[in-house]
Amino acid sequence: MTKGNINVSVENIFPLIKKFLYSDHEIFLRELISNATDATLKLKHLTSIGEAKVEYGNPKIEVKVDKENKILHIIDQGIGMTGEEVEKYINQVAFSGAEEFLEKYKDTAKDSGIIGHFGLGFYSAFMVAEKVEIITKSYKDEPAVRWICDGSPEFTLEETTDKTERGTEIVLHIAEDSTEFLEEGKIRELLLKYNKFMPVPIKFGTKTHTLPLPEDAPEDAVAETEEVDNIINNPTPAWTIAPSELTNQDYMKFYHELYPMQFEEPLFNIHLNVDYPFNLTGILFFPKLNNNLNIEKDKIQLYQNQVFVTDEVKGIVPDFLMLLRGVIDSPDIPLNVSRSYLQADGAVKKISSYITKKVADKMSSLINENREDYEKKWNDIKVVIEYGIVTEEKFAEKADKFTLYPTTDGKYLLWNELEEKIKPNQTDKDGNLIVLYASNADEQHSYIQAAKDKGYEVLLLDSPIIPHVIQKLETSKEKISFARVDADHINNLIKKDEPLIAKLNETEKESLKKSVEEAVTDKKFTVQLEDLDSTDAPFTITQPEFMRRMKDM
């Protein structure tokens, strides 16, 4: 037997990182800005605990395009690196300075929002650059250094007098095949996609700001303007703020920030906030489900420490909540190295069931807080709730608290209210509750009328998944059964008052029935003689309930 170490040389690994680690070349910018953010957050932490005796100030990150020289600059005012640190953190591939920092300051820094993890992000720069320079000056009183590398394992590192301010400048000499990243429009698009809610202000160019005119200005005075930093991100998005400090307006504002092309207001928001057994924050919105809804484009977005990861959230968010919008931010969602795929993991399941539970709890409190408002919105949210009842056991268990059953005369009943109402009048001989419903108020008008005349409550259940909901309710609840108003077993109900049709004698009934049956040749239907006096329908033709449902499914 031979034992040994597999020799991984950087020469072999470098092209691999460059080519295969990240499927999407554009994420280099996300990675470099994440590093700039980490460097700033580290400084913030070290000054707050008194370890770095420098002024933290109002640091920002700047991104600059120099198209003429084919250079992209990413500049931060964070902790910087000494020469020794560059050797340690940059020259050692797969050594994460972010991890090391979190380990060293684990008692105080676990909520600092540090992003880095795998120690590979920096090298994504070589996907788009043929040469990368790092010019950096540590917050410690040491000379600045310049590191240059052309993507081969060789590099140069030397002291420089070019940088006098604390922080790091990354200079990317963009490769021939990546010149799209020298377009301002492209960079702006990427910043807005990945960095829109990152915690340190990001400057990209300047914009013209019009100064207010003094009060005594003459009428024809022209307002003065000034050039100010164009900050592209909102460093404190609503989901990072405590719900108690947010007004409804703040949530709406955030919704429009998240989906600038969406003009319609959402119906409800659900603020998620958990720190045990995993960390997760976020805000989910119930949109109005109508034709304006662009589910393909405006999806729930997943963030990690305020860095956009993906809007493919299948698995994390249960299927029935995919119709919602909003953000979820969790440092604990296990992603692969390129941060773009979920790793199948028990944690993901836990997160999904937490979200389900949270949504159920929120629905309960919404209906309790303002029943009238909830009833008004029911039509827009019912599909989500009904889908949840059918597909998520945990959700179905809680759903009686917030599922409404609209009646054909405009009332909205909770399950227990419905039960109370129909118990005296709508049972069959075995004591089963029969819930009567119509699926189309116009088409089934005469049946609805007939049932109402007998004092029955008729629900109006018209959404497409209702047959499944009914099946679910019939199996999960005891001694209940649903019948559509035009189905036959409506006649199994024990009626308080004898129907007037009973007043016909047997021969009269027989002959009436016979003539109707002759007219209705289709044997799928049965003819029932009904109470005639208060409907304009002379008799009722019904179809067995099971056949009807087979058709609906």
Residues near Mg ion, by CB under 5 A:
35, 116, 121
Q: Which does 304 bind (CB under 5 to 8 A by kind): Mg ion, ligand ADP, none?
A: none
* Residue number, 27 or 390, with CB nearest to ligand ADP: 27
Residues paired with residue 271 on neighbouring β-strands, in sequence order: 283
Q: Which does 119 bind (CB under 5 to 8 A by kind): Mg ion, ligand ADP, none?
A: ligand ADP
DSSP per-residue string spanning 42-82: HHHHHHHTTSS-S------EEEEEETTTTEEEEEE-S----
* Residue number, 112 or 444, with CB nearest to ligand ADP: 112
Please give the Cα distance from 89 to 287 (Å, whole number). 45
* Dihedral-angle region of residue 332 (phi above 0 means left; psi in -120 to 50 means alpha; beta otherwise): alpha
Residues 9-68 contacting ligand ADP, CB under 6 A: 31, 35-36, 38-39
Binding to ligand ADP by residue 199, rule CB under 6 A? Answer: no
* Residue number, 168 or 439, with CB nearest to ligand ADP: 168
Residues paired with residue 310 on neighbouring β-strands, in sequence order: 302
The CB-nearest residue to Mg ion is 121
* Residue number, 33 or 470, with CB nearest to ligand ADP: 33
Show the site string, 273-312: x = touches ligand ADP by CB under 6 A, - = not: ----------------------------------------
Q: Which does 486 bind (CB under 5 to 8 A by kind): ligand ADP, Mg ion, none?
A: none
Binding to ligand ADP by residue 122, rule CB under 6 A? Answer: yes
Please give the Cα distance from 367 to 416 (Å, whole number). 14
* Beta-carbon count within 10 A of 275 CB: 10
Alpha helices in 392-414 (DSSP H): 393-398
Q: Which does 436 bind (CB under 5 to 8 A by kind): ligand ADP, Mg ion, none?
A: none
* Residue matched to tokens 């977005």: 301
* Residue number, 191 or 389, with CB nearest to ligand ADP: 191
DSSP state for residue 458 in the 8-state scheme:
E
Among 59, 116, 237, 467, binds ligand ADP (CB under 6 A): 116
CB of 35 to ligand ADP, least distance (A): 3
CB of 26 to ligand ADP, least distance (A): 16
Q: Which of 38, 98, 43, 44 shows the shortest CA–CA distance to 74?
A: 38
Please enumerate in sequence order all residues whose Cβ is within 8 A of that of 380, keeping only pairs 6 or more positions apart, or say none. 267, 286, 288, 289, 290
Residues 65-94 contacting ligand ADP, CB under 6 A: 76, 78-81, 89-90
* Beta-carbon count within 10 A of 234 CB: 17
* Residue number, 122 or 320, with CB nearest to ligand ADP: 122
Q: Are 510 and 502 in contact (CB under 8 A)?
A: no
Binding site for ligand ADP (CB under 6 A): 31, 35-36, 38-39, 76, 78-81, 89-90, 96-98, 116-122, 168
